Amino acid sequence: MLPAVEAWFATHTWQQPPWTVDELVALKRGRTVSVVLPALNEEATVGDVVGVVRPLLGTLVDELVVMDSGSTDRTVEVASAAGARVVRREDVVPWLEPLPGKGEVLWRSLAATSGDLIVFLDSDLVEPETAFVTALLGPLLLDADVHLVKGFYRRPLRLESSGGGRVTELVARPLLNTLRPELSGVVQPLGGEYAATRSFLESVPFAAGYGVEIGLLLDVHRVHGLSALAQVNLGVRKHRNRSLLQLGVMSSQIMGTALARCQVDFDSGPLTQFVQVDGEWLPDSTDVLVADRPPMVHVVEER
Ligand SMILES: O=c1ccn([C@@H]2O[C@H](COP(=O)(O)OP(=O)(O)O[C@H]3O[C@H](CO)[C@@H](O)[C@H](O)[C@H]3O)[C@@H](O)[C@H]2O)c(=O)[nH]1
Ligand SMILES: O=C(O)[C@H](O)COP(=O)(O)O
């Protein structure tokens, strides 16, 4: 590792986050916390994720919102019955037609919530834990220079105990090592479990699709430097594993956002993949959306 990265890793990585809920509540000092769960057709898991955050409502957490991304299953009903406020993507910033993608709902969530600190958790988590929220908030509440806290974990892949995080290991980390070596010490650059200050989140653009996490990481580093970034060990994280073809599209969006943030010219045409039909391998093209939403602070000001 670069010496600067080694020094950052030693001081900004929490291998065993030590904080209790009471300690963190005492550190809030008037600051408020929103927890946001983006969800697209997650009826099987969203209830459990809401369920692990709910015990913190009224103490460490001030609001809990599920941002629905156009679900056609029972996600909205399940999330609401579990105790979350559900916001549909058309309900906020209604004058702009929603773009498809996860980043779009995270961006809209800034206008749907009011917390000074925002915690994002994916809603496809299996066996989530309340401690994810406490651990992610620790560095933000302790250190005013920190603006983004990423979770890291062991990642099972289906029935294996490890081997998950394929896009992370094969695309995102090699890409960051090459394009922005100062970020090579981030264990899970793509992880969907992270917390940040509203002031930072509102000040930067959001990639509408799966580029949102790598974009925020590159931007926090560009705007505030490495010392504004911390990472906490959350133990184990299990989620629904997507197919290789789906991960190919995700990887293209992530590369597109990273290259654009690093001023590398590229052509964001459709992605060609190959599928087997009746014994033959045929090309299949998918459009890759690499669009940015502007900083939310400008959107609200202009209105
Ligand atoms: O259009 C979408 C797509 C996904 N999601 C939700 O976003 C979360 C993560 O999506 P998923 O498709 O499960 O992504 P992963 O395969 O888990 O991808 C990893 O890598 C992505 C790219 O960085 C991150 O966005 C994810 O959080 C991270 O877990 C889930 O709660 C989804 O329901 C939406 O709300 N809208
Ligand atoms: O974060 C990632 O790398 C992708 O979501 C893929 O994760 P998986 O290999 O655990 O399915």
Task: Kindly state the average pLDDT of the residues 128-132.
Answer: 96
Task: Kindly state the average pLDDT of the residues 282-291.
Answer: 93
| pLDDT at res. 28 | 98
DSSP 171-193: IIHHHHHHH-GGGTT-S-TT-S-
Please report which confidence band the pLDDT of residue 302 belongs to, taking 50, 70 and 90 as the band edges. Answer: confident
DSSP 256-297: HHHHHHTT------PEEEEEEETTEEEEEEE-----EEPPHH
pLDDT tens digits along 232-245:
999 999 888 899 99
Task: Kindly state the average pLDDT of the residues 10-31.
Answer: 97
pLDDT tens digits along 166-223:
999 999 999 999 999 999 999 999 999 999 999 999 999 999 999 999 999 999 999 9
Give the residue, out of 78, 122, 212, 247, with the most ligand 1 atoms within 8 A of its beta carbon, to mutate for a pocket test: 122
Across the chain, mean pLDDT equals 96
Please report which confidence band the pLDDT of residue 11 belongs to, taking 50, 70 and 90 as the band edges. Answer: very high
Ligand 1 neighbour 210 (Cβ under 6 A): yes
pLDDT tens digits along 65-80:
999 999 999 999 999 9
Q: Is the pLDDT of residue 163 over 90?
A: no
| pLDDT at res. 297 | 95
- The C-alpha atoms of residue 135 and residue 14 are separated, in whole angstroms, by 9
Ligand 1 neighbour 124 (Cβ under 6 A): yes
Ligand nearest to the CA of 216: 1
Give the residue, out of 122, 157, 167, 249, with the most ligand 2 atoms within 8 A of its beta carbon, to mutate for a pocket test: 167
Q: Which of these ranges, 207-216, 261-270, 279-288, has the smallest mean pLDDT? A: 261-270
Secondary-structure percent of the chain, ordered helix, strand, coil, rounded to 5: 40, 25, 35
Q: Is the pLDDT of residue 268 over 90?
A: no
Look at the pTM and tell me if it is higher than 0.90: yes
Please report the atom of ligand 1 found closest to the CA of residue 189. 23
Say which residues have a Cβ less than 8 Å from residue 178's Cβ, sequence separation at least 6.
Answer: none
